[in-house]
Amino acid sequence: MKTRAQTLVTRPQLSLTDGAFVLKGDLLIGTIDQLNTTQGLAQEIDLSRVGQFDTAGAWTVVKLERRLQKAGLSPQIVGASPLQHDLLDTLRRNMPTDDDISVTPLTVADRLEQLGRKTVAALREILAIIGFLGQVVATIVSLFRRPARVRWTAIVHHMQHVGLNAVPIVSLMAFLIGVVLAFQGAAQLRQFGAEVFVVDLIAISVLRELGILLTAIIVAGRSGSAFTAAIGSMKMREEIDAMRTLGLDPVEVLVAPRVIALILMLPVLGVIANFSGLIGGALMSWIELGVSPGVFQSRLVSNTGVWHFGVGLIKAPFFALIIGIVGCYEGLQVKGNAESLGHLTSISVVLSIFLVITADALFSIFFAILGV
């Protein structure tokens, strides 16, 4: 059974009669989708037969008026009540024009301005991270001057999370890298009858570069993002503000244990990755080239200097410091919403990997100059 309000609502109609658009019925948000469309041009829009009228109806009238204006006409709205005129005037003032919503193409100057702003923002970010690095290093030095303030329980906890729990994925990654190096090296060296040199290729690549570099990248994606997420969640819940209220330094309580754990564990993970990579390379060399494990071991010991192994270990603490500083810094920049947390976690991973690869390139140049 229909109610009285439903009975009074009539279907809207639009017709072109005697050079004027005539609107009939109720122009409401619930009925406007039933309005028939009529093409053509007219100098008047007649609202004298319109019943109920709301913002959706006013939007339809203004849209029709603007279509006629684009065609070069000056349409007049007739038959509207004072309240309808007021609603139409309000909508005209607030409804954006096509010019307002059009996308202006960027000029060369606009693109240069965007590049300049992004460059300045990146430089400020780098300076802020360098300042945070100094603060963390100063805090760690002060802690070891007063060993009673060192949070050994937190350090051991993070060593387990960063180091022990990462051993399976790091070992598997390094093993597969060794397999790939041996397989690809064998395919190339077999053409020159120099299959035995695959041992040198694997040893130098894994011990000097790939072992520690790929380990650092995995740790950056695994532990660096976890640092950002954990500290960022505490920032969202205002736990860090509560720490400061209680007189606790968040850098000493949250950042220093994580950074110390990374510095201690990344060299260990690097050693594990080196051995796994060598085992994978030896296995594939035996299968693909017939280089027995004994021959592989003897050539590895005789032709691979200890400095190839040392170079990788020298890089490890610096990579760990980069990952820890960036992960904790981005976590402390999180605002009070989940979108900020996700965005800064992504930035933390990308920035850590970028800085680790950049540092590896600088180390390569440095050791090449020294002839190591």
Residues 197 and 275 in one domain: yes
Domain boundary among 94, 110, 143: 94
Whether the CB-CB separation of 367 and 311 falls below 8 Å is answered with yes
Q: For the domain that residue 24 is a member of, what is the CATH number?
A: 3.30.750.24
Q: Looking at the whole model, is its pTM more than 0.85?
A: no
223 has a pLDDT exceeding 70: yes
Q: Both 42 and 182 in a single domain? A: no
Do 9 and 23 touch, CB atoms closer than 8 A?
A: no
In a domain, residue 78? The reply is yes
Asked whether residue 234 is assigned to any structural domain, the reply reads yes
pLDDT of residue 196: 73
Q: Are residues 29 and 146 in the same domain?
A: no
pLDDT, one tens digit per residue, over 259-301 is 999 999 999 999 999 999 999 988 988 887 777 888 888 888 8
Residue 3 above 60 pLDDT?
A: no
Asked if residues 10 and 26 have their Cβ atoms less than 8 Å apart, the reply is yes
Model confidence over 302-315: pLDDT tens digits? Answer: 878 788 888 889 99
Measured distance CA(59)–CA(82) in Å, rounded: 17
213 is a domain residue: yes
Expressed as residue numbers, the domain containing 57 is 13-94
A 10 A CB-CB count for 250 gives 19
Tokens at 201, concatenated: 């290729």
> Are 80 and 162 within one domain?
no
Average model confidence (pLDDT) across the chain: 86
Residues 139 and 85 both lie in one domain: no
Evaluate whether 326 touches 352 at the Cβ level (below 8 Å).
yes
DSSP string, 104-155: PPP-HHHHHHHHHHHHHHHHHHHHHHHHHHHHHHHHHHHHHHSGGG--HHHH
